């Protein structure tokens, strides 16, 4: 796994990203951090990909259907990557320039993990695109066995019947773990209690803020 050569920030704010499988617990951790940070800091909460991609036919086909014959996955990956570049440069960075702490649900790492998990390990364009993406101050990766992640998703009423490719989930988990290691991410197993997981999140962010003096 090659490390992504991402762009160093020049803005005074901070960027914290949250990645992992659906059902890994990242949203729970993110919401707890939001509640803590907004007491004393200006924050901006966002997500990737944006709704422009999430609502597209190709995205919904890959998310909701087992038959993908009408599309080439690389085309979706390119669409998502361009969306993320636009989002970073026109949404995230301006908020950081205002001195805000930006929290992003998923990030460019998800684009890489999905591309590789679907068999495009040799694609080099994504590493070139990463050079125009901001490197986060903290990249959290939340990990849980696939079976547990899927069970959590199935407990959501609106997703109890959603199509889930189990083989893909196992591949994605491996890619996330490798990406975390290669890019100095913070790996947290959410098999621990919620409070134990959040203690790691909170202490990591506290250290960042103490060193950054925001």
CA angle 95, 178, 61 (to 5 degrees): 70
Q: Give 150-167 pLDDT, tens digit per residue.
A: 999 999 888 777 788 899
- pLDDT of 83 over the 70 cut: yes
pTM of the model: 0.92
Which pLDDT score, from 0 to 100, does residue 211 have? Answer: 85
Which candidate, 9, 22, 14, places its Cα nearest to that of 113?
Answer: 22
- pLDDT of 213 over the 70 cut: no
Which pLDDT score, from 0 to 100, does residue 29 have? Answer: 97
The pLDDT mean for the chain works out to: 92
Q: Which domains are delineated in the chain?
A: 14-208 (3.40.50.300)
- pLDDT of 214 over the 70 cut: no
Q: Give 13-42 pLDDT, tens digit per residue.
A: 999 999 999 999 999 999 999 999 999 999
Q: Give 122-151 pLDDT, tens digit per residue.
A: 999 999 999 999 999 999 999 999 999 999
Q: How many residues does the chain have?
A: 214
Query: d(Cα 80, Cα 94) in Å, to the nearest integer?
Result: 20
Distances (CA, A) of 23 to 11, 108, 152, 186, 207: 32, 19, 5, 18, 27
Percentage of residues in the chain having pLDDT higher than 70: 99
Which pLDDT score, from 0 to 100, does residue 120 have? Answer: 95
Which pLDDT score, from 0 to 100, does residue 160 have? Answer: 77
């Amino acid at each position: 796994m090659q490390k992504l050569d991402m762009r160093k920030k020049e803005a005074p704010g901070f960027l914290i990203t949250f990645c992992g499988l659906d059902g890994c617990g990242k949203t729970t951790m993110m919401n707890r951090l939001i509640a803590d940070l907004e007491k004393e800091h200006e924050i901006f909460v966002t997500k990737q990909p944006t709704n422009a991609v999430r609502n597209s036919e190709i995205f919904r086909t890959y998310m909701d259907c087992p038959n993908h014959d009408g599309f080439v996955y690389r085309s979706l990956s390119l669409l998502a990557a361009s969306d993320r570049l636009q989002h970073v440069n026109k949404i995230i960075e301006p908020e950081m320039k205002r001195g805000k702490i930006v929290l992003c649900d998923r990030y460019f790492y998800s684009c890489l993990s999905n591309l590789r998990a679907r068999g495009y390990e040799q694609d080099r364009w994504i590493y070139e695109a990463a050079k125009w993406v901001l490197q986060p101050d903290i990249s959290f990766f939340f990990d849980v066995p696939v079976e547990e992640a899927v069970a959590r998703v199935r407990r959501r009423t609106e997703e109890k019947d959603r199509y889930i490719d189990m083989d893909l989930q196992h591949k994605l988990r491996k890619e996330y773990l490798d990406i975390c290691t290669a890019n100095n991410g913070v790996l947290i197993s959410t098999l621990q209690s919620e409070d134990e997981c959040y203690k790691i999140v909170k202490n990591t962010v506290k250290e960042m803020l103490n060193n950054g003096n925001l």
